[in-house]
């Protein structure tokens, strides 16, 4: 899952980014409204955290235009001013939630999880065939075997499980699992798919779940 933070207060942005990365999200940070809106429009984010007070263009203006342009990612507003007026305005324009600064990271994380579940993200426990992944504990299980995953392996498996039976191109995978610093010239996606296979798709299991679509990407399906 990839998240965009539009926030000019470096400390706040860094605090959120660090926390989210520890939870295995890919995170981009942008510091003003104009660039933030551009990022939100050219990339496919799973959620956007948008500060109201921003240089160049206010968060409320960015929100209004993103909604007008059909951006579907859920948006959480951050506001330093705990005024009813701002919140009401934001929610009326189409914000999905808001947080008043200062807030605990756990609070933000809880709200994000609710929003991403509310979208196309279904039940909390992700399952496919005899494979399951619990986003709350971040543990995977294939049959009766528990599997330990690194942060990136978790993010990759979560994305595959949220899109079963759909051919996912390397670009699409990279866009949802890696952030803006991802170098598309590398074979990082293939490397991580191989890591994942070595844990959840070994010979010990009768059915293979992650399949290569030659020249395109990967699909999670039962043969
Ligand atoms: Ca600000």
Q: How is the chain split into domains, by residue range? A: 2-118, 126-220
Q: What is the Å distance from ligand 1's center to 2 Cα?
A: 21
Q: Which of 95-99, 131-135, 153-157 is predicted with the least confidence, judged by mean pLDDT?
A: 131-135
Q: What is the Å distance from ligand 1's center to 4 Cα?
A: 15
Q: What is the Å distance from ligand 1's center to 110 Cα?
A: 22
Q: What is the Å distance from ligand 1's center to 8 Cα?
A: 5
Length of the chain measured in residues: 223
pLDDT tens-place string over residues 158-184: 999 989 999 999 988 988 898 877 777
Q: What is the Å distance from ligand 1's center to 7 Cα?
A: 6
Q: What is the Å distance from ligand 1's center to 100 Cα?
A: 12
Q: What is the Å distance from ligand 1's center to 178 Cα?
A: 25
- What does the pLDDT read at residue 95? 92
How would CATH label the architecture of 126-220?
A: Orthogonal Bundle (1.10)
Q: What is the Å distance from ligand 1's center to 128 Cα?
A: 42
Q: What is the Å distance from ligand 1's center to 22 Cα?
A: 24
What is the pLDDT confidence band of residue 107, given thresholds at 50, 70 and 90?
very high
Q: What percent of the chain has pLDDT over 90?
A: 61
**Residue 186: partners with Cβ closer than 8 Å, 6 or more residues away:** none
pLDDT tens-place string over residues 65-96: 999 999 989 999 998 766 677 778 888 888 99
CATH of 2-118 given 3.40.50.2300, 1.10.150.130, 3.10.290.10, 3.30.300.130 = 3.40.50.2300
Q: What percent of the chain has pLDDT over 70?
A: 95
Concatenate the DSSP letters of all residues of the chain into one string.
-EEEEE-S-HHHHHHHHHHHHHTT-EEEEE-SHHHHHHHHHHS--SEEEEESS-SSS-HHHHHHHHHHTT--S-EEEEESS--HHHHHHHHHHT-SEEEESS--HHHHHHHHHHHHHHTTT--SSEEETTEEEETTTTEEEETTEEE---HHHHHHHHHHHHSTTS-EEHHHHHHHHS-TT--TTS-HHHHHHHHHHHHHSSTTSSS--EEEETTTEEEE---
Q: What is the Å distance from ligand 1's center to 108 Cα?
A: 17
Mean pLDDT, the chain, rounded, equals 89
Q: What is the Å distance from ligand 1's center to 115 Cα?
A: 22
188-206: burial string, b at 16+ Cβ within 10 Å, e else: bbeebbeebeebbbeeeee
With a cut of 50, say whether residue 143 has pLDDT above it: yes
Q: What is the Å distance from ligand 1's center to 58 Cα?
A: 9
Q: What is the Å distance from ligand 1's center to 192 Cα?
A: 36
What is the pLDDT confidence band of residue 126, given thresholds at 50, 70 and 90?
confident
Higher-scoring residue by pLDDT: 211, 138: 211
């Amino acid at each position: 899952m990839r998240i965009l933070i539009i926030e000019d207060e470096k400390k706040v942005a860094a605090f959120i980014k660090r926390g989210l990365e520890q939870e295995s999200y890919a995170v981009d940070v942008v510091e003003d409204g104009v660039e933030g809106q551009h990022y939100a429009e050219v990339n496919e984010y799973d959620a956007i955290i948008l500060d109201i007070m921003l240089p160049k263009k206010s968060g409320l203006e960015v929100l209004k235009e993103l909604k007008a342009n059909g951006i579907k990612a859920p948006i959480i507003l951050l506001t330093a001013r705990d005024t009813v007026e701002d919140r009401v305005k934001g929610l009326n324009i189409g914000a999905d939630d808001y947080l008043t600064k200062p807030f605990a990271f756990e609070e933000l994380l809880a709200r994000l999880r609710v929003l991403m579940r509310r979208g196309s993200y279904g039940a909390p426990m992700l399952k496919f065939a005899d494979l399951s992944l619990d986003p709350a504990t971040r543990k995977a299980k294939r049959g009766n075997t528990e599997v330990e995953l690194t942060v990136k392996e978790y993010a990759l498996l979560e994305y595959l499980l949220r899109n079963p039976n759909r051919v996912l191109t390397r670009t699409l995978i990279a866009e949802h699992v890696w952030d803006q610093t991802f170098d598309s010239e590398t074979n990082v996606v293939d490397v991580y798919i191989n890591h994942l296979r070595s844990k959840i798709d070994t010979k010990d299991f009768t059915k293979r779940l992650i399949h290569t679509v030659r020249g395109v990407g990967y699909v999670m399906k039962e043969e």
